[in-house]
Every structure is written in structure tokens, then in C-alpha cells.
Amino acid sequence: MFDDNPNDSGFLPVGRRTVLKSAAALLSGSALTSAPASAHHYDSKIHYEPQVDEDNLMQLAVEGHDVLDDGVKLDLGSHEGYIRLFSDTLARVSILDPGEEEYESRGIENGRDDWETPDFSVETTPDTIAIETDTITVEINTELFGVRFLDENGTVVNEDYLDKGSSGYVPSPERDGTASDSTSRSTSTYVSDENETDSETGSSGYASPTQNDVEMTDPTPNEPLPYVYKKADEDEAFYGFGEQPELTLNQRGKKLENWNTDQYGYFYTNDYVYASIPFFVGLKDAGAYGIFFDNPHHTVFHTPQVANVDGVEETYDTDAGEDYYYFVGDGGQLTYYFAYGPEIGDVLDSYTSLTGTINLPPKWAMGFHQSKWEYSPDELVEVPHRYREEGIPLDAMHFDIGYMDNYRVFSIQNSHRQALQSLSDELPELKTVAVNDPGVAVDEEVDVDGDGELEPYGPYLEGTANDYWTKDATGETFKARVWPDVTVWPDFSRSEVRSWWAEQHDVLFDAGFDGVKNDMGEPAVFQRNSSYDWTMPVDNIHGTGDDTMLHEEYHNMYGFDYARAAHESFDLLKPDDRPFLLNRNLYAGGQRYAAIWTGDCVSIWPHLQMQLPMMMNMGLSGLAFCGHDVGGFAGRPSPELFKRWTEV
């Protein structure tokens, strides 16, 4: 039972508070002290949800096929289909426009060319094309295109739901353009050269967004939405789906969305949080299987309806039926991977062979960590000594962003530099972790070294000189407000920008920091609009030349490449050390670069309950090194709540 005692909950700022955390399972204890929670707590969904118009579903038929070295190519009339075998338990299904190249996102570590094609044969009948390996058979229905996967005994493990027609693409929904409509998009005034210095909240905190009435057309108004319908057994269970704020381990009966968002004080009523992993494990009598919908756009999974033990239907907010489920993306290509078990571990082996595994972390990363917003320099030294005096193990101390000069990334105040040196001298076995953000202050001079002397602010000047910043829809540098006031964001989609960002970490490592904690990589922006929730406009531009893409497509990958750049800093600057990198936001495959924590949870009993299935399902999504804030990030836990949370 959960105690509703108001003393156990709330969002009151906290003064001095000591919180333990174990990086093995409970990665980050913190407390909010300066920013009012009401300024950054989200209850509404802003980014529109991709919706399937069931009156316009495709009816594709197989008009011909060619046998390839690793599968088959299908003539579907208006489209082309590909079934490619990666192993005898892993296959990729794609439906494309004619001549379109098959897609592999950044989340894929080992693409098709990295696998040895298994032995297979192709058998045809008037109604089917069967691709047979030693373990699975992929059977393609020809009259109405659909696929089903069978095990070596001929038992159906997974199949398309042909009552809804073929998998394929559905037209984008019409949008009425109103701000209250979740499918509308309109522009928002951010920062111009004329008002760059006019912060509405000072040098830190949350700027009030300014709206205008200029309607912006959908950046991809005619881009069709890829979708897939699948049959479900009555007792089939669904696990994974990455980071989802849910109270149950089995995700049947849920609508599960992927759109990375800075959800301070999230609850299980939120549609999405910080990370997007469009992968799940299905478990049924025929065994376990996995599906990875490799689409970094905003995606939604509607799992089957479920009836409880009394026969009363509990549908939650899924739009699926009792005998089927479906998933859909807000654009992009229809490409998904099917992995057969029969055990869950077998499925995860295939998935992580595709997307990568975690690197062995340093031993100290598996111990107790201490973090809080916002320790004074004296407290940063006093708290670890208190741990030692009380005989409580402490392996790492985290420095939140107050160590920076007015939140300018890659700068260190002298007082915090002295605290760092004191810890090194007095507790040399203790490790230190620097919190970092992706936003770079629009500022030409900063006290980088903490000596009171202003000097050229390299990150901003170099990034500007090299044109490394994300662009707005007009092609100009995108500027908005976050912690340091007016800010620009690196375009991490570009390899040269990631390498440059990695080099900037020498300021942190030379000062003595051992690890890095990447925050705010959704990317978070302290201004909002009717078409996006505290993040960049969806028509911002990333990349250059032929690699240009809209933020709509890249959004869920931003934190992934942010982690990728920081991970490169360890290879470059600390090649003899195992990296410890902790990210708040990732996409599938991000486990090969960083650990992850569940963001800004709250000091209430339901949040303790919620963290357990969240982390277990993240582990079932390939994120083996994950954790959460012990005791909650926001609020003040009761002694009983904190004790139970620490026990977990």
C-alpha cells in the first residue's frame, strides 16, 4: 500500500540533503533547491501523436519476387518489399518506395554487411513464399501481403494481422491548426539578435516563452506514416519498450510513445519521458520474440487490450483490440527487425548483437554515488568526509552544474576547482563526476579557469567560427534560452562536431574529474510552443549537404549522438581508463556509449513503485546499466520512504 501522507510528497525546494545512490542499480540521488517545480512540471502532451486512419490502410499484393543472397525482394506494385536474413533467428522486414535504399539508423552497430548470411532455402506455393532457415521460417502471404514467423516445428511465433490489411503507410492526418489540437504546429518566438541579452528570468532558471499567431505548415505535410499490425495471443505478454513511466512490468493494454522530453516530475500519466527505445519482447506459449522498429521519429506502440481476472476489460488508452496490436511512426521508413528466442535471453542476444552491448564500466561506477542540486563548494568536501565518519561506503561524488561559471559549459569556478583539489588530496580514492549540458552560452568571454579573469570563451567562439550549431528553419543559428540564458546547440549529427565536442572535455579531465553525467540532451529548451514540449522546433535543421534532416527526424537521436561525442572524449583524453558516462537521454543502441538514469523522479511512494518496472523494462531493452534517483530528485522523502527506497 502507498501512504498518501502529504509529508511524504510534494515539490518543495530542499536545502541540505544527503542522498545515497548505487550506480549498479540506483544511479543518481539528487534534490532540487533553486528552480520552482511548478515552472518545469509537465501534465500535457504537446507533440502530436501519429495516428492511423484505418479507412486508408494499404492492400498490397505480391506481384513477383527475386531471390537475393540473403533473402528475397518483393514486387508489391506501388512499393518494394525486402526480407533479409541476418542470422537463422534474426530478420529484417522493409517496405519501401521503388528504388529507395534500405534504412539503418545510428542505433545499429552491426549492419547487414557485418553478419554472415545463414543457409536458407526459398519455397513457393500459389499463396505463399517461404524463406526457411534451420531455426525459423519467414512465410509471406502473396494475395494480401503479410508475413508470419514460424519456429523449427512449424509453430507460428508471430504474424501480421491481415484483417487490417497489409503493413505499409497511411496518409498523415489532417490538422486543424489550433493550438489546443495535439496535431497542430505553430511557430514560437525564441531569441533574436535584438533581445539576446534580455533574459526574462536572469542568468538561470526558466524563461517564459513568447508565442505568436503565425501558423507554420507541417515540415513534412505529405509524408506517410509507416505502420504494422500484428496478431496477439490471449495470454501474450509484452516487455521492454525502453523507458516508459508505467506501474507494471507487463505492458499489455498500454499506449507507449517515444519522444524524448525533459519531463520533470513525470508520472505514469505522461505519454513519454527522456529516452526512446522502440523495441519490445513478446512472450507467449510458442516462445519469446522481439521486434525493433528502427524509426527515430515519434513512434507509438498500441499493445493489445487485456481483461482482468474478473473478466472486466481494462483497455487503458490503447487503441488496439484484444487479438492484435500495432505500431506506427510519424514519418520515416517502414523497417523493423524480428528476433526469435525461444528464450528471452536469446532475443536480447540477437538485439544487442545488432545494436551493441555495454562496455565494461570501471569498478567504482558500480558503487555508491552521491549527487544533489546544488551543493556549495564546502559541502562538496564536507559530505564525503561525513560518509567516512559514519562508516558508509561512498565511491563517487557528483558536481552539478553550479560548478560552472554561470552555467557556461566547460568552465569551472575557482571555489569548485579548490573543492575538487581538496577531495583529491584528502580522499584520493574517491571519484568525481561532472554534470554537463549540451547548450553553449552565447558569450564571448568567460572565467573559464575560475581565477576571476575573463578570457575568450572557446566553445562558443570556435563553434561559431566553424559553423557547428543547429540551424532554425531559415538556416540561421538556432538560439533559445536554457540555464546560461541565450544558448546555441551543437549539431551532433555531424562527425566533426562530435569530435570537436570531445576535445572540449580536456577542461574537465585536466581539473581531475573522472566521469561525466550528460544532462538536458532531449534536447531540453526552457521555452515551449504548441507543437513541441520544451524542446527545439521540429523544423530545425541538422546536418549539411545530402545529410540534411529536420529535427522532427533527428530529435530522438540527439541525446544518442551527445553521448557518442562524450564517449569519444574518453577515447581521446583518457584512453587508459574505462569510461563512466551517464546520460539522461538515449536511443536504441545507446547502451554502447553510456549508462542511463530515469531522470527527475519525485519523493513519493508511487514513484518508488514506478521505478522498478521502468528499470526492469529498460534492462529488457538492452539498457543493462541503468538506475534512478534514490529517494527521488524532487521533494523531501519521509524517513520510511527513503529507507525503503535505499533497500530496493
Q: Alpha-carbon distance 245 to 615, whole Å? A: 10
Query: For residue 101, what is the DSSP state?
Result: P
Catalytic position from the list 522, 533, 568, 629: 522
Phi, psi of 608 (to 5 degrees): -65, -45
- Does residue 616 sit in helix, strand or coil? helix
Query: Which residues are CB-contacts of 272 (< 8 A; sequence separation ≥ 6)?
Result: 257, 258, 259, 260, 261, 263
Q: In what order do the strands lie in the sheet with 595-597?
A: 20-22, 368-370, 396-399, 431-436, 515-518, 581-583, 595-597, 626-627
Query: Of 532, 527, 565, which Cα lies nearest the Cα of 438?
Result: 565
Residue 159: active-site member: no
Q: Alpha-carbon distance 563 to 334, whole Å? A: 26
The alpha-carbon radius of gyration of the chain (Å, integer) is 25
Catalytic position from the list 400, 405, 447, 600: 600
Q: Alpha-carbon distance 243 to 600, whole Å? A: 13
Residue 522: active-site member: yes
If you count DSSP H runs as helices and E runs as strands, how many of each does the chain have, helices first?
9, 37
Q: Alpha-carbon distance 636 to 8, whole Å? A: 7
- State the cell numbers at 54: 484505418
Alpha carbon distances (Å) from 436 to 109, 273, 415, 516, 563: 26, 19, 18, 7, 11
Catalytic position from the list 160, 243, 400, 519: 519
Q: Alpha-carbon distance 12 to 32, whole Å? A: 8
569, 505 contact by CB (below 8 A): yes
Residue 236: active-site member: no
- Given the C-alpha cell 542499480, which residue does it identify? 25
170, 179 contact by CB (below 8 A): no
Q: Which residues are catalytic?
A: 519, 522, 600
